[in-house]
Amino acid sequence: MLDVDMKGRVAVVSGASGELGRVIARTLADCNARVALHYFNGKDRATQLCEEIKSKGGEAVTIQADVSNKESVFNLRDEVRSKLGPADIIVNNAVQQYEWTSVLNQEEEDYESQFKTCVLHNVLMAKAFIPDMINKKWGRVVATNTECTMQCNPNQSAYISGKGGQDRVLRVLASEVGEYGITVNQVAPGWMISDRFRENPIDDSGYVKNVPLGHRGEDQDIANAVAFLASDLASFITGVFLPVAGGNVMPRI
What confidence tier does 198 reach under pLDDT thresholds 50, 70, 90?
A: very high
Taken in order 2, 33, 246, 145, the sign of the CA dihedral is negative
Q: Which CATH class is domain 10-243?
A: alpha beta
Phi, psi of 36 (to 5 degrees): -95, 120
pTM of the model: 0.96
Summarised one tens digit per residue, pLDDT across range 94-144 is 999 999 999 999 999 999 999 999 999 999 999 999 999 999 999 999 999
Known catalytic residues are 159
pLDDT above 90: residue 253: no
Summarised one tens digit per residue, pLDDT across range 218-245 is 999 999 999 999 999 999 999 999 999 9
State what percent of residues in the chain have pLDDT above 90: 98
